[in-house]
Structure 1
Amino acid sequence: MPSILKLATAALAVAAPLVSAQTYSDCNPLKQSNCPADKGSTESTLHFDFTQESALDQWKTTAGKVNTGSDGAEFTLAKKGDAPTIRSNFYIWYGEISVEMKSAPGTGVVSSIVLESDTLDEVDWEALGGNNAQVETNYFGKGDTTTYDRDTWPNVATPHDTFHTYTVKWTKDHIIWSIDGNDVRTLNKADAQGGTRFPQTPMDIRIGIWAGGDSGNGQGTIDWAGGETDYSQAPFSMYIKSVTIKNDNPAESYSYNGNSGNDDSIKVNGAGVTARSTSTSSTVPATTSTEAASSTEASTAPTTLATTTQGSSTAQSTEASSTGSSSEASGAASSSGASPSSSGAAGSSSESGSGSSSGSSSETGSSSSGSSSGSSTAGSGASSSSASASASSSPAFNAASSLGATYLGPVSFLGLITAMLQL
């Protein structure tokens, strides 16, 4: 089933007054040219301690009201139509995002952590208020909502009652979801339709709560959310204690070159690497070995990725990326901000993990049973993409063969002339 944010297009028309947009694009580079550059951050490490109100300074409240307190930022659904949501005012491009969350109880109530790009690439964590034993992982590429078969449901102990740290490790080659430092799912780029549906463009972070079980939503959305929400049991609250972000490509901004939506079309503008914590606390969560590697990569990755263009054979030889053109329409990209659910990728998913993910898979990850009931009206996004996950067409430069052709050829010819004169 779709994750929180891009379910039925038809249902969205009804739900529009009730929910906050979390997945939408103001300007989709797949369909529009000259989209404005996305604001980045020149900091490679950011930590937001939401027990402090100042931590919200780099986040925009896009719906409702979000207060801070001893349990962090509080997102409360008190009545029909509530959907408090915040959105980072910066994008990142590859890296690691860790969110310390206690999800909300309540049938049909959805607590969500979403990474979203202008091309509607998406990576999700979602917790349902009627399920206190599992959470959902999901991903989507290029706004493609032709299928909803990419979700998995790993086990987690009492997420409504306990803070857990939900992490996404996102590189150009794979995505890893982990809970409290334990990996629960791995998606390799090649397994997302040969890379054509692999999230690969700069994303911002959106966190919020909404009623998937609202009676005004489509039946598919209500079923996925676990049933109709009983507002007489409200309020329902989700808490975010902290967010820690490692950005592999710190930059002042990111821009798109062309309409492919592939990572080799991204230009990094004003890249720089610094480290700063926005927390007023004197301590920042301990860095794991994976985070340390990500931070180390940040000092070198920007140059490699930023210089990757169709004409740069040296840079492209270091980055295998999809260069084919995509003909997909985008799915539920609504500038009106009404979409409560998530876009899906077309075709069969090559993942494993039991959950409700249906396609064949080479993906690892622990996921328990969970049901997915995607709505048939959930967005267009049919795709006939011819893109491949191979490296760019520019051949790698072979110094040895070039040296032989340049120098050894003439030397051999001179040797032959000398031998003939001696005869």
Structure 2
Amino acid sequence: MVALLTAVCLFSAVARALALPSPHIPMAGSLPVLRLPRASDCHPSHTEFTSSLSDLYTVIEGDHATGQKGLQLFLDRPHGEVKMDKETATNDVVGTGATVNSTYAMGHGKVTFEVAAPTVSGVVTAVILVGTQTPGEIDVELLGGDPAHWQTNVFAPTPKDPRPLFGVFSSVEDVPGPEGIAAFHKYTIDWDAERIVWGVDGQDVRTLDRSKARSDGFEHYPTGELRVQLGIWDASSPAGTSEWARGPVEWNSAPKRISAFVRSVTVEC
């Protein structure tokens, strides 16, 4: 991921992830660190989206459907003309993608997302854990322009950060099988007070210890309650985001409606 984004981009991204009108920045890094056991407010569940969202999930933005392949998240082409700036590799407008949040939150736990993503450059499918009151995130991101890989990331900024933290704690991992992200795979985030483990199809591929989640003298480890968020979005702007996502989306040739599928979400405690 590209870290050369402005502070305005940082705050707007946080606000979108939180589904709040403005970001609420925590004071982590300047306060004593509390070492907590695995939280007891994690409630096990297994949701298959073949007929409905159930009362565990709610739509925040965009359109969706449910069916045999699970929850279908739509990304719709922008209305009107889309102007591409070839010099900056960006579009002047972006499409509207679906965002679905869980109605529950968790202190720690293990979440498995069964996902198939579109392979359209500039489109990002994200299944993440995101803060309910603070901008902490633990991410799984599937880039349509890089179908053979998936990305992991932690994003937990503090108000004293001297620079944006996009990509500082990210990694790129291989997707099993020849179809890559277009096929259904099970991506896992296992989060507790001391480490985060990401896996795919039952195999752990990356561990981030809390002691390693430090940058510029501050700890950047999610410590507040997180909820599940499922989404698809057009990463065609700004320039740094578009470059990271292999964008912009070529809306003149891409389908007017692009879909990602989430077959199931499983929460273990």
- TM-score, normalising length from structure 2? 0.76
Tell me whether 1:242 sits opposite 2:245 in the alignment: no
Alignment-mate amino acid for residue 67 of structure 1? A
Checking the alignment, whether the CA contact within 8 Å between 1:108 and 1:129 is kept in structure 2 is yes
Q: Which residues of structure 1 form unaligned runs of 5+? A: 32-39, 248-423
What CA distance in whole angstroms lies between the structure 1 residues aligned with 2:211 and 2:24? 24
- Find the aligned partners of 1:102 and 1:67 in 2 and give their Cα distance: 15
1:221 maps to which of 214, 225, 241 = 241
Q: Structure 2: how far apart are the matches of 1:91 and 1:99? A: 16
Task: Report whether the alignment pairs 1:155 with 2:170.
Answer: no
From 146, 149, 153, the counterpart of 1:131: 146
SS at match of 1:51: coil
Distance 1:79 1:41, change over 3 A: farther
Deviations 1:146-174 (A, max 9, x none): 33322111000333321000000101110
Please show how residues 12-411 of structure 1 align to structure 2 within 5 Å: 21-23=16-18, 25=20, 28=24, 30=26, 44-53=43-52, 55-80=53-78, 81-117=95-131, 118-143=133-158, 146-147=164-165, 148-156=167-175, 157=177, 158-193=179-214, 196-213=219-236, 217-232=237-252, 233-234=254-255, 235-247=257-269
Give SS of 1:220's match.
Answer: helix
Distance verdict in 2 for CA 1:222–1:242, change over 3 Å: same
Q: Give 2:122's aligned amino acid.
A: G
Q: Which amino acid aligns with 1:30?
A: P
Shift of 1:57: 2.1
Cα distance in 1, alignment partners of residues 173 and 145 from structure 2: 15
On the 8 A contact 2:111/2:265 being kept in 1, the answer is yes
Aligned residues: 228
Alpha-carbon distance in 1 for matches of 2:23, 2:242: 29
Match of 1:209, as an amino acid? I
Report if the CA contact (8 A) 2:6-2:164 is conserved. no
Greater RCO (CA < 8 Å, at least 6 residues apart): 2
Q: Distance in 1 between matches of 2:77 and 2:17?
A: 19
TM-aligned CA distance change 1:42 to 1:154, over 3 Å: closer
Give, as a single letter, the amino acid of the residue that structure 2 aligns with 1:227. G
| Equivalent-residue separation in structure 2 for 1:191 and 1:70 (angstroms) | 41
Q: Which has the higher helix share?
A: 1
Q: Deviations over 1:275-298 (max 9, x none)?
A: xxxxxxxxxxxxxxxxxxxxxxxx
Contact kept, 8 Å, 2:2 with 2:243, in 1: the verdict is no
Letter in 1 for 2:208: L
Contact 2:198 2:207 in 1 (8 A): yes
CA shift for structure 1 position 27: 7.1
- Return the TM-score normalized by structure 1: 0.50
Q: Name the aligned partner's letter for residue 191 of structure 1.
A: K
Mark the CA change 1:98 to 1:83 in structure 2 (over 3 Å): closer, same or farther. Answer: same
User: Structure 2 vs 1, CA of residues 45 and 159 (structure 1 numbering), >3 Å: closer, same or farther?
Assistant: same
Distance in structure 2 (CA, Å) of the matches to 1:189 and 1:41: 20
Percent identical across equivalent pairs? 29
Q: Determine which structure has the larger strand proportion and give its number.
A: 2
Alpha-carbon spacing, 1:168–1:222, altered in 2? closer, same or farther (3 Å): same
Structure 2 spans left out of the alignment, 5+ residues = 28-38, 79-94
In 1, Cα distance between equivalents of 2:99 and 2:108: 23
Structure 2 CA distance for aligned equivalents of residues 114 and 64 of structure 1: 17
Give the direction of change, closer, same or farther, for the CA distance of 1:23–1:223 in structure 2 (3 Å limit): farther
The CA RMSD measured in Å over matched residues stands at 2.7
Would you say the 8 A contact 1:2–1:138 is kept in 2? no
Q: Highest CA radius of gyration, 1 or 2?
A: 1
CA distance in structure 2 between the aligned counterparts of 1:202 and 1:127, rounded to whole angstroms:
24
Q: Which amino acid aligns with 2:71?
A: A
Q: 1:10 to 1:140 in 2, by over 3 A?
A: closer
State the distance in 2 between where 1:8 and 1:146 align. Answer: 7
In structure 2, what residue type is equivalent to 1:146? P
Q: Deviations over 1:124-145 (max 9, x none)?
A: 0001111110011000224556
Give the secondary-structure state (helix, strand or coil) at the position aligned to 2:44.
strand
Q: Quote the offset at 1:28 in angstroms.
A: 2.9
CA contact (8 A) 1:41 1:91 kept: no
Deviation at 1:51, TM superposition (A): 1.1
Q: Distance in 2 between matches of 1:42 and 1:186?
A: 23
Q: Letter of the aligned partner of 1:155 in structure 2?
A: D
What is the DSSP-based 3-state SS (H/G/I as helix, E as strand, rest coil) of the residue aligned with 1:104? Answer: coil
